[in-house]
Structure 1
Amino acid sequence: MKNIIQIKTQNKNYSIVVEENSIIPFIKIEKKSKKKIFIIIDKKVKYILKKLEINKNINIIKINGSEKIKSINYYWKIISLLLKLKIDRSSTLIAIGGGTVGDLSSFVASTILRGIRFVLVPTTLLSQVDSSIGGKNGINTPNGKNLIGTFFQPDKVIIDPKVLYSLSKRELKSGYAEILKHSLINDKAFYKWLIKCHRNILDLDKKYITKAIVKSIRIKAKFVHLDEKETLINPSSRAMLNFGHTFGHALETMNNYNTTLTHGEAISIGMAFAAKISYKIKNITEFEYNKIVGHLKIIGLPHHDKRINSNKIYKLMQSDKKNTEEKINLVLLKKIGQAYFERGLDKERIKKLLN
């Protein structure tokens, strides 16, 4: 069954297609245009890569997806290669891989020749439900994650749930963290359904995983439609999607973007952190807080990290793009299913709330 979700923004409207076995047929249709096609693909997506390599008329760039590729040096390497291959403004760039491949490729597509046609084919659960929606891209710096980037909506997104069968349980759980986030910030009924059906989702039962993906996309699409470039400060703000991310991104930076924590695991710890503050300021009950943390434990996602250096973490949190001046702005829960923006938290207050 094909699910098509329409994304509407000020700059561009496009469709996200969720359908099994949809990737190769889509590329065959693209080839008929007779225009140059360039594909940046993660080497780990082997069965798609094997089918693509048969095609002589497609320029394929194979990379190893990880946070390490989200750097100025790697960005310049890809730009230089594409220019050497005579990419032009009528060309299409297709990114096939997880979130890091999509982030880098989107930044490349938005800047090379001042922007070219771009298609995203996310192949991890995390990228299917989160980073492929909404047009954000970015590369990392020693000062923080995604501090260089653009808002650049793709022309199309193709999602094949079947590619998830090649993922490890750890990667699936990492993606599940973002699905859980969407429920916590916007849909209590969806949260209750996840509590009940998480095993079916992580076992990749076709009916359940498709519903979880489509529902997550619809929630994120709603925020993107209302606030494409994160300019609002009300409950409709796209910033609500950053629940758990201020702390999570700081953790990733502290770990130098290595494999100690996946992105989803860092966000899981960040959500537990934000949920605890939400409980301490009496937005949610102790029972609700414990249920969130308990669910993370059941899934096998972390909710704390003993190695955290509070002074270093706070300094890194200050680099977050949502902050103003010296204080921290955090997305917290007003209640289960509704997030809001808490502004101006200082170091001492955060420490006090977490003790």
Structure 2
Amino acid sequence: MKIIQAQIRGLVKKYGKVVAINGLDLDINKGEMLSIVGPSGCGKSTLLSCIAGLEKPNDGEIAIDDELVFSTDRNCFKSPDKRQIGFVFQNYALWPHKSVFENVAYPLRIRKKCKYLIKNEVERALSIVRLLGKERQYPYELSGGQQQRVALARALIMKPKLLLLDEPLSNLDAKLREDMQYEIKRIQKDMEITIIHVTHDQYEAMGISDRIAVMNRGKLIQVGTPKELYEHPKTEFVAKFIGKTNIIHSHVTEENGCSKLALFEHVFIEDRYTTANIGEKVILSIRPEDISLRKEKGMGKGKIRRMFYRGNVIEYTICIENKELKVQTSPKEEYKIGEEVWIHIHQIKGVKN
């Protein structure tokens, strides 16, 4: 049975007339890595700030370990230092004039802890992030990944109930970003800590998350495991945001007593994918890898307009009846731009608007 570590109910945050968070409900399970994703301005960083106590919401409730930290009905608002939360900012927020040791020790120093405790706890935190031996160095002497781990160590030193990460990898190059994804996941599993991770990078979220919460315009659209969101998106927005897809606005027609989906003007497929009635409009999501290309006759005929070689896959754009379809194949299946091919569709998902 999963234990809920944090609970958010009816959360609203406004900036003047702008509604950044609009009546949001969310449960965060103990020990999980929950990533919050969405386009810029969707409210994901504002949500993190509200959980941390850096922003005061206009309405709703936030509870951590069944203890209210914010409630409009009960007139409750606990300051950040009373919430036992660790926070890693996008720019790391390290003191440039302080050593690694002093940066990590800072939360303990302002609480006037004894020198012996500070020394032991700094060593423990640096050991977790694998930076022992770097205590006397300064931020400018470290790589981007090492600076990020110093910020992590500082956030972990107070043994927080929740660790909040606000786009912590966005300033790193691609290779370092991938390495740090493994590092954050390792720390989460080793410490069994609950992490709420905000990112605009869907692939980053899919790689390290136990669950992903998709936001848009201040609302929570869908929450689920990476596999659930990718294979069973509930809406067109989620289908397009999590991975690549082809969206087709179609309708259900009838042929010889059988329900069929009109993919294109002259391309129809038996409707085994929706519960729509004859004549109803539907929105279909077709992943590029669920389409194969062949030279022999198939569902529909098109012409290759564009090709991108990605190493492990080739991405094609196929033009069918003046509409474009993205297709992803093995690099062993190579076609030329301008070549005519037949498409075969293996999987379709019906989604809502």
TM over 0.5: no
When normalised by structure 2's length, the TM-score is 0.33
Question: Which protein has the bigger strand share?
Answer: 2
Q: Which has the greater radius of gyration?
A: 2
